[in-house]
Structure 1
Amino acid sequence: MKVFWQLEAPQRRSLLILFAAGLFFWSSMGSLLPTLPAYVSDVGGTPQQVGIVMGSFAIGLLVFRPWLGRMVDQRSRKLVLLIGAVVAAIAPLCYLFVKSIPLLIAIRIFHGISIAAWTTAYNALVVDISPISYRGELIGYMSLVTPIGIAIGPAVGGLLQGAFGYQPLFLFAGGLGMLAFLGGNQIHEPKIEHKPDTSLQSSTQQNSRKFWEILVSPPLLVPSLVLLLVGLAFGALSTFVPLFIRETKVDFNAGWFYTSAAISSFSSRLFIGRASDRYGRGLFITASICFYGVAMLLLSYANSPNSFLLAGILEGAGSGTLLPMMIALISDRSSPQERGRVFAVCISGFDLGIAIAGGVLGSVVQYFGYRGIFTISTGLILLALIIFMAISNKNLANSWLFAWGKAPDIYALNYAELEKHAQK
């Protein structure tokens, strides 16, 4: 944590306010994780409809994230952050008045804009403020808002819904979104020079790249593919774990699954950021994918509170390591002038996975059951691991060494500075 005191006072203040606002935002999101699938089911939704409603959240992410990414680069990081907070405040209130499946789908699509805006702007602001040599460490610390919020939100949301019903739950989620807006409005946004260095033709070309040019570029294609496959598994978790627990009749509150995952995620983020600045991102991405795979496999056999709890802990360790490391990796491979677009493109892989998971895997339930969903998810995670270890760098040999922390990232724009810092 000493790295915070090495920053200038305005930078430190902005990061602390940003952290607090992020905590409110993710608590709002988390409060609906164990409760909204049950709400959709209680208003008459079938398992497939529950999957479609929950997965439609990602449609808002997919449709709006590229546009919001351009806005982050061309207009303002802070403006996009506030858009995310406003949507997070309004959407939960809409659930109060809706019991129709088509309208719930529409609201979930709208709600998805919140994460598309918030995560793109939040990550760009953190990277802008962070010195390159300590980028991984600060990203790790600042990403703690997600597991803390996802730990607090489901626990409080589940208790509110159980004790008082859905109305106080949705009011609580909307109020947290408004607090995120008030906090985000106090952040000082650092100025970014948007004019490319005309002495570097490659920089000029990068700054003018379009969505598909960014996506198919070798440095960014593999992170997008890995996030797509992990997104499918995460979509299965966020949509079907509460219903799976209910079906097994295990005496276990689904909120505690997400809380245990969040605590595990929090613990891993305390250490991996700083370590990745020294040992590289590859080793920790490989480990995180392995944790995810074991969690999915364990869920496919879970039949007791302890097995669900252990699966949550392993999933939390995987997500707590993978997402910050992917953000750091993408940051290493992108320039400040196109960082918003790059985040939007690569993280859209994760969004697409969530969107596909709800509808596609929901239709699988009737044939293979919930256990079958998590068995399929295990295979998807294994595929992500193979892709990362084989083509994450310039050739198979470099990719293999990078994936095990034995070689630096050749695609990193700040390759020399990262290597120098790692040798200290």
Structure 2
Amino acid sequence: MKVFKTLERQKLQNLFLLFVAGLSFWLSLTALLPVLPSYIKVMSAGERSLTFALGSWNTSLLLSVQSQVGFVMGCFAIGLLMFRSSLGQMADRRGRKIVVLIGTIVSGIAPFGYLYFHSIPGLMALRAFHGISIAAFTTGYSAWVVDLSPAKQRGELISYMSLVIPVGMALGPMVGGYVAEAAGYTTVFVLSGIAGILAFVLASQVGETPKLETKVARDSALRPKKLLQRLKHPALLTPTSVMLCVGLIFGTLISFLPLFIEEIQLDLNVGLFYAVAAIASFISRVLTGRASDRYGRGIFISGSLVCYGISMVLLSYAQSPQAFLIAAFFEGAGAGTIVPMAIALMSDRSAIDERGLVYSICIGGFDLGMAIAGPILGFLAEPIGYRNLYFLSAILAAIALLVFISRINKDFLSSWRFATGRGQDFYALKT
């Protein structure tokens, strides 16, 4: 980790505080992963009718338990989708710190809401509110880290700072799962809220980076001011489409994995699955960060999509705890690579005064995938079964890989070369 030795003391201190705040944030978030699907199932109490009312208007939907779980879990991404873009623009205009603070305070408040909302519509609204936390935190955190990173070591530093995710994923689900078994849901929600509040306190101590000028802003392919113009540009549309597929896969995984394990009566704590995935994510981030600065982002994004495909195929056939844990390792390797590489790729392609918005659009693809994975695939879970859901996820990974290797650069040949580590990124800014 020689990159840290080259940084000024103040930057190093800010990065350390930001890292610990990020760790607390992800612990707060991931402690709920093994708990919420089962909690939602209990709250549904076998009811298959979900009623919505607004004034004199009301309607009822006849839903399976799987669909209700999918709806509630998917609502998390509604907050992401509604606020990601505006929070990205806020990060560019008003600074990264205020956006990070918004994310952490929501992560501290929302878990306590699960103690008071016991209806499915109430939980859906709470999940949407909780989604604001990750929309704010990840956008502000990513842009803040890049602001503090030397351009030639950007991929390496992003990878190291993004280790808060696998470490949080390793500890949070295990803690959440074991605490739920030993002390019940209430204790898990309280601990999650406390971790979120701690993240807020730590983030408030980080010094805001000064407004920086950039000499390459005029060269950015994403310079058009209108949101639709940005989204339609291949430099942003292709990675956003890839992240949409990844979001669908990840949304399916977190929404239905605990129920899948429960259905086949497998003796496996779902927290262990997330822990193995987190270990793989940790390893992949450490290994790929510096390498991507040398060999480019493309080959590592391609590899991550292959890992996702392998993981989902394994899950669709898995019968034993060992098979699930092997699938977890591949999923973690894929997730641990694609997230920092997508951030690094968009950092390469955008100027400093547009990064917040560009990140929010690209990662918004992931958000949308998560939002629709639960409700849409929840309808399919009952008729086709969980195994086939994960096989469909493997097909999504293959589609994402095909899109990436054919559309990520200016034409098919240059895209193929970049995706296999043998060509440059046509849309990257000169530094």
> How high is the TM-score relative to the length of structure 2?
0.94
The yes-or-no answer on 1:365 pairing with 2:415 is no
Corresponding residue for residue 114 of structure 2 = 95
* Structure 1 Cα separation of the partners of residues 426 and 7 of structure 2: 28
1:132-172: CA deviation from partner (whole Å, max 9, x where unpaired): 00000000000000000111100111111100001110000
Corresponding residue for residue 413 of structure 1 = 429
Corresponding residue for residue 288 of structure 1 = 304
1:267-306: CA deviation from partner (whole Å, max 9, x where unpaired): 1111100000000000100000000000011111111101
Secondary structure (helix, strand or coil) at the match of 1:43 reads helix
Corresponding residue for residue 118 of structure 1 = 137
The yes-or-no answer on 1:177 pairing with 2:186 is no
Q: Which amino acid aligns with 1:44?
A: S
What residue ranges of structure 2 are gaps of 5+ in the alignment? 46-64
How does 1:25-424 map onto structure 2 within 5 Å? 25-44=25-44, 46-193=65-212, 202=219, 206-207=222-223, 209-414=225-430, 417=431
- 8 Å CA contact retained: 2:223, 2:230: no
* Structure 1 Cα separation of the partners of residues 265 and 229 of structure 2: 49
Corresponding residue for residue 420 of structure 1 = none
Q: What is the CA-CA distance between 1:201 and the residue it aligns to?
A: 5.2
* Structure 1 Cα separation of the partners of residues 191 and 144 of structure 2: 27
* Structure 1 Cα separation of the partners of residues 222 and 325 of structure 2: 45
Corresponding residue for residue 56 of structure 2 = none
- 8 Å CA contact retained: 2:103, 2:134: yes
- 8 Å CA contact retained: 2:146, 2:154: yes
Q: What is the CA-CA distance between 1:188 and the residue it aligns to?
A: 1.3
Secondary structure (helix, strand or coil) at the match of 1:5 reads helix
- 8 Å CA contact retained: 2:108, 2:193: yes
1:119-144: CA deviation from partner (whole Å, max 9, x where unpaired): 00000000000010000000000000
Does 37-46 or 143-152 show the bigger shift? 37-46
Secondary structure (helix, strand or coil) at the match of 1:106 reads helix
Q: Which amino acid aligns with 1:279?
A: Y
Q: What is the CA-CA distance between 1:200 and the residue it aligns to?
A: 7.2
* Structure 1 Cα separation of the partners of residues 227 and 79 of structure 2: 17
* Structure 2 Cα separation of the partners of residues 231 and 224 of structure 1: 10
- 8 Å CA contact retained: 2:299, 2:420: yes
Does 402-411 or 104-113 show the bigger shift? 402-411
* Structure 2 Cα separation of the partners of residues 79 and 336 of structure 1: 17
Q: What is the CA-CA distance between 1:42 and the residue it aligns to?
A: 1.1
* Structure 2 Cα separation of the partners of residues 201 and 286 of structure 1: 30
- 8 Å CA contact retained: 1:300, 1:375: yes
* Percent of aligned pairs with the same amino acid: 52
- 8 Å CA contact retained: 1:207, 1:337: no
Relative distance call for 1:83 and 1:227 in structure 2 (3 A) is: same
1:238-265: CA deviation from partner (whole Å, max 9, x where unpaired): 1111100000111111111111101110
- 8 Å CA contact retained: 1:284, 1:325: yes
Relative distance call for 1:200 and 1:192 in structure 2 (3 A) is: closer
How does 1:1-16 map onto structure 2 within 5 Å? 1-16=1-16
1:370-393: CA deviation from partner (whole Å, max 9, x where unpaired): 011101111111000000000110
- 8 Å CA contact retained: 1:66, 1:211: no
1:360-417: CA deviation from partner (whole Å, max 9, x where unpaired): 0000012101011101111111000000000110111000000000011111013xx5
Q: Which amino acid aligns with 2:20?
A: A
Relative distance call for 1:362 and 1:200 in structure 2 (3 A) is: closer
* Structure 1 Cα separation of the partners of residues 104 and 252 of structure 2: 26
1:26-78: CA deviation from partner (whole Å, max 9, x where unpaired): 01111001111110001126110001100110000000001101100011200
Q: Which amino acid aligns with 1:139?
A: I
Q: Which amino acid aligns with 1:12?
A: L
How does 1:19-30 map onto structure 2 within 5 Å? 19-30=19-30
* Structure 2 Cα separation of the partners of residues 214 and 331 of structure 1: 15
* Structure 2 Cα separation of the partners of residues 28 and 370 of structure 1: 27
Secondary structure (helix, strand or coil) at the match of 1:96 reads coil
Q: Which amino acid aligns with 1:40?
A: I
1:200-238: CA deviation from partner (whole Å, max 9, x where unpaired): 7556x9555132222111111111000000100000111
- 8 Å CA contact retained: 1:281, 1:328: yes
Q: Which amino acid aligns with 2:263?
A: E
- 8 Å CA contact retained: 1:290, 1:318: yes
* Structure 2 Cα separation of the partners of residues 207 and 223 of structure 1: 17
- Structure 1 stretches of 4+ with a deviation exceeding 3 A read 199-203, 205-208
Relative distance call for 1:200 and 1:35 in structure 2 (3 A) is: closer
* Matched positions, count: 412
Q: Which amino acid aligns with 1:22?
A: G
